[in-house]
Structure 1
């Protein structure tokens, strides 16, 4: 990703990242930042990041040819004399350090959003609300880690008033580092559930990791928004020495929504401060996400009417409960990611649908560690309790789900190609199909193939009829 930034001298960047200029001109004016050798803004500085597979130092000659005038590196490299080379110990750390220094140049209120699930939805709701009143920057796509958060902060400009930053994590210390970089004064913890158990090991450790946001706000006299409906609310609240605002359906919530109505994959609705709210997204969990965003928006000084209009302006994204109508079949693409919390919510919504048949298409939930077998078994038991007619599945762990699922027709697939073919052969008018799995299982490919085939088939039928 690349960004155009407010002008900085190369020597100022070197100071911010604790590096030394080993080549070139320290007075060079930098107007762009990039980590992507395929996208080079004019007069930009390239951060040569090292990953498990690729080392971007190999691309430094290319980015210079494409117009970069400086680079952050961890070793000496042969470059033209006019290129400013800043050497550091860790280029990824330097990216965060420069983002921190860049962020400090702006008087902007930043809200940080983390949680086991619901982060992106809450971020989208809050950003949608904030944009009605303020010039707002927010996380795009999946840029919520130690690389994505700095790149998002480089979108700040002198006229920016608010920013909504999504903060993901997989190990302890990540949220703390993201808070150090972004310096939020307002935080939201959306939920706590069995995610990243492979690296964290237990729910208690997940709470500890998510509460790094609270611990940062404790030191900065900030405000933390917590989900009052969560089974872990009391434990989350006990970590807070800063001001806590609770949001949800409980009567004792500081910000309460009432008359919540969610019916299958139909848009959820509720009442907020006496005003009816109609979302464009389905599910009780989505209404609770909206409540968290509303509570944060109140802390940002936004009035109730703007909040209601902002909540209603947010549309579903590809892979996140986006419904496609295909010749009398409803295909719900929720394939971007999956965990026990979000999959359980999706199964409940599917069960609530008035449909000819309710078809669940799923694959493995990843990063669950030693709890993976039991979490997949729990999903199978939930399927048995709900009105699910057909289970189409693939994956070693999802086979455990299938074994636990009773009173449902089960079809196992070898790979995604076969899964797409089986869906196409199985689906019929009146069906509702939910597709959900962890992103690494790539069921987005299945959704795309099914949609493309159905569209091609429909076009072929139309052409045939015209003949």
Structure 2
């Protein structure tokens, strides 16, 4: 076998290896594209802010440039030894492929694994076909042409072969958005089909739809309302955090449709852009709308507080004239919605004495065991003493809203009270565990907003009898221009309520650290770690019987370094 044939065959053998590298890279990136909701701009923002991605891009570009620079070496350096030079170049390329494989970014944490949904797999396969097109085309041409044609250009053959694989590898972050754009007409037609199917199922079920929205509090309120109403009615709620247009459609088509005969359907609605809640309402057709809060959550996506208010109010605008709107009167933005005068029946709840409140929580008392308060219906004058095994001021508002809706739907207080006494917190939302040795674990990993984090820290402060009060936090995210000030305030409140602070991620918790230290927190009691695994290992090494530990906010995969 002559050199030309050997080198051309080696190049051909490298083609599937390049495609495997491209496929591995795309599979890794597809998870983040999915986590960012298949939004091109958000995906690229993640890509540009992630240090491991920038490093790999720089490495890939440097290797590709170095290989191609070899093509401009003076011919005198390669004369009469083109074959030997080509073999050397192929060795360099093979080494480069090994470097690509070893240095390709890996997930520092995987809280939300890649969901191999039909859409995700279509996207991944399309992106892989785009990425494989160049190496397949080049090496296909190599097969069609006799290797003898390359006898005097073997080094260039090797360089071109390597470039045909390295270029798509370098451009992999562009391939997923491109594949998504190409698939858009098909995906949009499927989306509309599933939405029509879900809407028909809901309309045919006869269930009264209750839509709940808010910057925070909506998931807990949904759970509490579902639990209370189930004491008398057959009630279905969208599970977990299925609160987007397609998420709700999927739940209706895959689960609700199996047995659609319910009295009430509770839908949680979340908006990432103005118009999304309106679209959700066109899907579910609510008769009752609940607005819990307006805050800076998703400010990065919605752009302004005005847009957040507009998005939340879409739930109320979608109600029929004979519908009922429920409003949290302790939030001035939400109270202003009630004052707009639509619909005719508007019910306000409050635990802080809002003058127009129909339902109030009075004499609220917090303890390490739970929360006690008196609920009063100002329309009838009826009152009831309640206790719930829940913690924090926010949970009083959430439970009061659920009580108000249930009372409006015909449940008397004496029927509501035992249901409230057995309420359980939603997953990772201020869940309290007490270990046999007296150690208390407060799991509030989902609280990533200023109100929720403050309430959780206030609950930690109730454990004054604990030996130490330790808080673990990754800070707050998606707060836009308010992020730095909000995280500084978070740090200051940690300093006032905790004895030890563990922060996850130096970059994203810098403002939290500054806020805590500025408030006089001793620096030797504040530790910053790289990830949740390191934080877990550290607190386990220091946790002792009688301590109280608060898991406050979790680090999203898209912010892990």
Task: Provide TM-score, normalisation by structure 1.
Answer: 0.73
Contact kept in structure 2, 1:380 and 1:402, CA below 8 Å: yes
Tell me what 1:187 maps to. 289
Q: What is the CA–CA distance in structure 1 between the aligned matches of 2:494 and 2:508, rounded to whole Å?
A: 15
* Equivalent residue in structure 1 for 2:431, among 319, 322, 335: 322
Segment drifting more, 47-56 vs 301-310 = 47-56
Matches within 5 A, 1:201-280: 201-217=303-319, 219-242=320-343, 243-249=345-351, 250=353, 252=355, 253-263=357-367, 265-272=368-375, 273-280=382-389
Q: What is the CA–CA distance in structure 1 between the aligned matches of 2:317 and 2:122, rounded to whole Å?
A: 31
Please list every run of 5 or more consecutive structure 2 residues that lacks an aligned counterpart in the other structure: 1-113, 129-179, 181-185, 376-381
| 1:49 CA drift (Å) | 3.6
Tell me what 1:452 maps to. none
Tell me what 1:305 maps to. 414
Q: What is the CA–CA distance in structure 1 between the aligned matches of 2:124 and 2:359, rounded to whole Å?
A: 47
Q: Give the 3-state SS of the residue equivalent to 1:282 in structure 2.
A: coil
| 1:400 CA drift (Å) | 1.1
Contact kept in structure 2, 1:366 and 1:438, CA below 8 Å: no
- Is structure 2 residue 260 aligned with structure 1 residue 151? no
- Is structure 2 residue 369 aligned with structure 1 residue 289? no
Q: Give the 3-state SS of the residue equivalent to 2:534 in structure 1.
A: helix
| 1:109 CA drift (Å) | 0.9
Tell me what 1:401 maps to. 512
Q: What is the CA–CA distance in structure 1 between the aligned matches of 2:391 and 2:273, rounded to whole Å?
A: 31
| 1:229 CA drift (Å) | 1.5
Q: Label 1:88 to 1:334 Cα distance change in 2 as closer, same or farther (>3 A).
A: closer
Q: What is the CA–CA distance in structure 2 between the aligned matches of 1:320 and 1:314, rounded to whole Å?
A: 13
| 1:311 CA drift (Å) | 2.0
Q: Give the 3-state SS of the residue equivalent to 2:530 in structure 1.
A: coil
1:5-44: CA deviation from partner (whole Å, max 9, x where unpaired): xxxxxxxxxxxxxxxxxxxxxxxxxxxxxxx998xxxxxx
Tell me what 1:115 maps to. 214
| 1:329 CA drift (Å) | 1.5
| 1:390 CA drift (Å) | 0.9
The alignment yields a C-alpha RMSD, in angstroms, of: 3.0
Larger helix proportion of the pair: 2
| 1:301 CA drift (Å) | 2.0
- Is structure 2 residue 483 aligned with structure 1 residue 381? no
Contact kept in structure 1, 2:363 and 2:374, CA below 8 Å: yes
Task: Provide TM-score, normalisation by structure 2.
Answer: 0.62
- Is structure 2 residue 209 aligned with structure 1 residue 98? no
Contact kept in structure 1, 2:433 and 2:442, CA below 8 Å: yes
Tell me what 1:419 maps to. 535
Tell me what 1:451 maps to. none
1:103-134: CA deviation from partner (whole Å, max 9, x where unpaired): 11122111111111111111011111111111
Matches within 5 A, 1:354-373: 354=464, 355-373=466-484
Contact kept in structure 2, 1:257 and 1:271, CA below 8 Å: yes
Q: Label 1:246 to 1:54 Cα distance change in 2 as closer, same or farther (>3 A).
A: farther
Please list every run of 5 or more consecutive structure 1 residues that lacks an aligned counterpart in the other structure: 1-35, 39-46, 59-73, 75-86, 446-467
Q: Give the 3-state SS of the residue equivalent to 2:389 in structure 1.
A: strand
| 1:55 CA drift (Å) | 7.1
* Equivalent residue in structure 1 for 2:453, among 337, 340, 343: 343
* Equivalent residue in structure 2 for 1:164, among 260, 266, 283: 266
Q: Give the 3-state SS of the residue equivalent to 1:364 in structure 2.
A: coil
| 1:325 CA drift (Å) | 2.6
Q: What is the CA–CA distance in structure 2 between the aligned matches of 1:213 and 1:251, rounded to whole Å?
A: 22
1:387-406: CA deviation from partner (whole Å, max 9, x where unpaired): 32111002222121111113
Matches within 5 A, 1:450-461: none
Larger radius of gyration: 2
